[in-house]
Structure 1
Amino acid sequence: MRPVIGYIGAPRGDRLVGALTSLIIRISGGRPVRLRKPPGPEPRRVDGLILLGGLDIHPSRYNAEMEVESRFDLERDELELAWLDIAFARAIPVMGICRGLQMLNVKAGGDLHQRLDPEVTKNWPNGPLGYALFRKPVEVLPGSFLASVFGAGTLRVNSLHRRAVRAVAPGFEATACGADGGVQAIEARGGALRLGVQFHPELLPHRRDMRRLFDRFIDACRTRIRADI
């Protein structure tokens, strides 16, 4: 049984990210489908939803004034929110990666820091090479879904985004944090599996623990199918 995993990425560019995501979904037992349009009156079946990284989310999405000039993609905001409506209504598992974590948090009623402390981020690299090589420690909290995947304690990850969760959405909790106390992962309390990570597991397919995260997510999607049969 291969669950259909819909994923949303940047509409232009990021071909490598899309290819790696599709590959790791297949390796983990899912059938990847890239979602490029909002769901229609009879939306196609998806058994899981993955939101990838990309440009910043417009502050209007979380009722904030713009504090920092940035690059936004309003069409993608609409696309992701529309598919999240479907996922929430149908109890479809969701995983958000980087920007995807932030959109999941915003959709559920949380908000974001529009800029992290420049002193914290000044030595962070930019671009694909930076994500490939840069690592920083985060603490995975015990008792969480992530702890069941990675184990509780220190995990070294490729987390570089300059924006981050400020207020965690109602019904969610932070399940990993950085050395500065910043939120590095969130999970829903109960119900369908909904989690977000600030790092990029899809860019680390050579790591068994990162592949295990996708394995477990797709297992949750498969379990949901069986429950519906």
Structure 2
Amino acid sequence: MGSNASKPIIGLTTYTENASWGVWHTDAALLPRSYVDSISNAGGIPVLLPSGDTRALSAVDALVLTGGADVEPHRYGQAQQDKTVTCPERDAAEFALARAALDRGLPVLGVCRGMQVLNVALGGGLIQHLPDRVGHTGHQPSPGGYGPTHVTLAEGSRIAGILGADAKCQCYHHQAVDRLGDRLRAVGHAADGTIEAVELPGAGFVVGVQWHPEEDTQETRLFAALVEAACR
């Protein structure tokens, strides 16, 4: 395990994209800086995990499954629809990391896609295109535009203990949890009924949120709770 002598080490999953910087234009292991800053501001040491080698978990005290592309539908027993955009290489890496982290009892935070990975890894399923279910695009109003969403959190849940009875969130997702994974509990809902937060009762810190807490620079409580759990 990583050292808890001072600040805990928090592993953050990354994804491979063709990127440009300086004179370079090549494949890179990427992650928005907002994740890194959120962990640092919460008192943790962020470490980027560029592959699915589960041995990397021996060097960290907690895992953040970050946002990104859609999960392959075959993993939850569906054919892929037109609006679903996947990254099979990333799926293979992150499902291995998620399962290994749960087996080891590491604190886990799933963000957007990361919550969906957590749900599917535990046997759940997803809605492939949420507007077809709820009749609006409020959760992902435009490319690169976050949808402000009010989320009601279940009384007595871990996340309500962190954030209170409700949260004003920045959402960017066109998919959502449909069938809950084994033992997961839905603890946050948008006004249209969309599941916006899940947690695994009695399993330490295992929380998934459908929104993007890293995009709210004034809200550090969720990451601080993860860092605190990683110190135990």
Q: What is the TM-score of this pair, normalised by structure 1?
A: 0.87
Q: 1:121 aligns with which of 137, 155, 165?
A: 137
Residue 91 of structure 1 deviates from its aligned partner by 0.3
Counterparts of 1:39-118 in structure 2 under 5 Å? 39=53, 44-118=58-132
Is this contact kept in 2: 1:17–1:202, CA < 8 A?
A: no
Long gaps (5+) in structure 2:
1-5, 20-27
Asked if structure 2 preserves the Cα contact closer than 8 Å seen for 1:9 and 1:18, the reply is no
Q: Deviations over 1:162-190 (max 9, x none)?
A: 11000111111001001111100000011
Q: CA deviation at 1:22?
A: 0.9
Change (3 A) 1:41 1:102: closer
Structure 1 gaps, min length 5: 224-229
Cα displacement (A) at 1:43? 5.4
Aligned AA (2:199): E
Query: Matches of 2:130 and 2:187 in 1, distance apart?
Result: 19
Amino acid aligned to 1:102? Q
Equivalenced residues, count: 216
Query: Which AA in structure 1 matches 2:81?
Result: E
RMSD: 2.1
Given candidates 8, 15, 32, the residue that maps to 1:10 is: 15
> Residues 69-114 of structure 1, C-alpha deviation per residue, up to 9 Å, x if partnerless?
4221001001101111220121001100000000000001111011
CA contact (8 A) 2:71 2:86 kept: yes
Q: TM-score by structure 2 length?
A: 0.86
1:226 paired residue number:
none
- Given residue 201 of structure 2, which amino acid in structure 1 is its aligned partner? R
Shift of 1:122: 6.6
- 1:125 Cα shift? 2.5
Distance in 1 separating the partners of 2:7 and 2:110: 20
Distance verdict in 2 for CA 1:148–1:115, change over 3 Å: same
Are 1:135 and 2:121 an aligned pair? no
Q: Structure 1's 173 and 122: CA in aligned 2 closer, same or farther, altered over 3 A?
A: closer
Identity of aligned residues (%): 33
Quick check: 1:68–1:114 contact (8 Å CA) kept in 2? Answer: no
